[in-house]
Amino acid sequence: MSDRIVSADSHVNPPKDLWVRNVPQKFKDRAPRVESTDMGDFWIVDQEISGAIGLDSSAGRKPEEFKPGQMYYSTGARRSENDFAEKVLLAYTLEGDKPVWRYVQTGEGRSSAGVMTTAGGLLFFGDDAQSFEAVDAKTGEALWHFNTGQTISASPMTYAVEGKQYVAIAAGSDVFSFALP
């Protein structure tokens, strides 16, 4: 048996126009996309720069030289010095072309946690300040937060036990769970 490294975390970088190409025509101007500038590639979400693209890491690969327009693998992520993005939640109606509300998250804009909305109108997410937060899905008003003390990279989830609804999120090596009223 030969020893070899098998990557369990290889990433394929999608084409820069993946979302623009696959959304209905009326939403194309709002679809997330990547734009290249002299300072690098940036995500553009609703006409706002959403931060520099981190470089995917792939186990067992050596860093490669970046070539625009080609698939790219690297080891680790790097950003420009003093490059701090702002992470913002934006809410839209299907009919509108402007955000109904925006919620600027705490931190340096480097988190990767997702969001989850409940049928009761609560929107949960993990922020860069290691907090699990809830906002009103209709207004964006901050309702609650809990500092986990750990980096949050997972998306929230919900479940029910004996008719009681809970929300949970993984942070670091722990899972935090809270009952909804």
CATH 2.40.128.630 residue window(s) in the chain: 108-181
pLDDT band at residue 59 under the 50/70/90 scheme: very low
Residue type, 35: E
Query: Per residue in 89-111, pLDDT tens?
Result: 888 887 877 889 988 887 776 66
Round to whole Å and give the CA distance between 110 and 153: 10
Round to whole Å and give the CA distance between 152 and 137: 21
Instruction: Answer yes or no: pTM beyond 0.75.
Output: no
Task: Compute φ and ψ for 171, nearest 5 degrees.
Answer: -140, 125
Q: Which CATH architecture has domain 108-181?
A: Beta Barrel (2.40)
Q: Is the pLDDT of residue 80 over 70?
A: no
Q: Is the pLDDT of residue 70 over 70?
A: no
Q: Is the pLDDT of residue 112 over 70?
A: yes
Query: Per residue in 26-42, pLDDT tens?
Result: 877 777 777 777 666 67
Sequence-distant (6+) residues with CB within 8 A of 127 are 87, 105, 106, 107, 111, 113, 133, 145, 152
